[in-house]
Amino acid sequence: MDLNGISAVVSGGASGLGEATVRQLADAGATVVVADLNAERGEAVAKEVGGVFVATDVSDEEQVQAAVQAAVDTGRPLRAAVACAGIGWATRTVNRDGQPHDLASYKKVIDVNLIGTFNLLRLSAAAMGETEPVNEDGERGAIVNTASLAGIEGQIGQIAYSSSKGGVIGMTLPAARDLAAIGVTVNTVAPGILDTPIYGQGPESEQFKERLAAPVPFPKRLGTAEEFGRLVRSLLEISYINAEVVRIDGGL
């Protein structure tokens, strides 16, 4: 699918993987709605790429609908949606003091990572379904969700995060089959350890990232947000890739 002249929505688009994706889509000629809670950074990114910022809590249906509507209101057909908004949480199911995992924090991770992804998926797909097909295949749009290697191989302390990302992986195939009827593809990216602002800056941060990169087979480094964005762009552009979960992890 040609991204030039379309509109797109990227949740979590104000920083990290989302920002890199926003820039890739804008470079391809799309008008991008940056849907994020960080208004200061979101507005700055949107201004830099000629897009639109919409303050968005992805777990809130009305706010996600507003972001989708903003893409429709650009006057360009909404044909791409990328779910990058997410949060992490590190707690064992039962900790060393014998205390069970806090339920409220578990629900919060599910609300943002899983429900938030589903909100953007369903609401953007409905809007795409209202557009005219772009080719003889009947293609109307493409959706890319963000899971994690943790959704496949969760580690100690990742019960909430792995549950949420495993859910995103699990929705990929049925969503793709559901949306085939309206010509919308659905794929999911499962990143390993990518270098984002979450790791901070400075010597201690760099040393920590070196330890994280040590078990990666090749290349022996953290992945970059740009590499993630380029992969997402490819999944949006290559229509015959559908219903796939694609790992980007250096073989980890």
What is the set of active-site residues? 161
| Six token digits for residue 215 | 């078990």
Q: Where are the beta strands (DSSP E) in 43-87?
A: 52-55, 78-83
Residue 229: closest CA among 72, 6, 30:
30
Q: Where are the alpha helices (DSSP H) in 73-202?
A: 103-109, 116-128, 159-179
CA angle 34, 38, 39 (to 5 degrees): 75
207: exposed, middle or buried (Cβ count in 10 Å: 0-12, 13-18, 19+): exposed
| Six token digits for residue 57 | 């809590």
